[in-house]
Structure 1
Amino acid sequence: MDLDLDVVRPIGGEVRIEDEDEFAEHSVLYGYPESVVRTARQTCEWLMDAGRRDGDGTEPFASAYRYWLARIG
């Protein structure tokens, strides 16, 4: 399931959330339950916080990504 919220941190850039407007629009259009909206926003905040720590050992940014990179490399 894709709820439109994307947490990104470009190389050398700041972590940010993209597509919040799309998420808000779809929340109304598709009638996302409040629990889904709340959980999605909480998860984005967790990911943003983890992304700001710059790979300090917090998963999924410490090592879990290596498995997925190896699959495409």
Structure 2
Amino acid sequence: MRTVTTSIRVIDGREPLVSVRTDREVPLQHIKAIVHELHQLQVHAPVTIGETIVENPTSTECRIIATRTVEASVDS
């Protein structure tokens, strides 16, 4: 069992990426599939710390949550 951490692209944000993690440990055999799914995602700014980005990725009983805040770009 491991906690998964990675980054997801942010559209119209002050930062290009937001860091995310699972809210609990997941079985090792699901990690590659979860990371693959997350790398396909893009989220729109603003994103707030603790916000749920994905519920039950790859049918695991966890949530993917933002670990930092990314504000919307002034230009958007």
> TM (normalized to structure 2)?
0.30
* Larger relative contact order, structure 1 or 2 (CA cutoff 8 Å, min sep 6): 2
Greater C-alpha Rg: 1
Q: Which is richer in helix?
A: 1
Q: Which is richer in strand?
A: 2
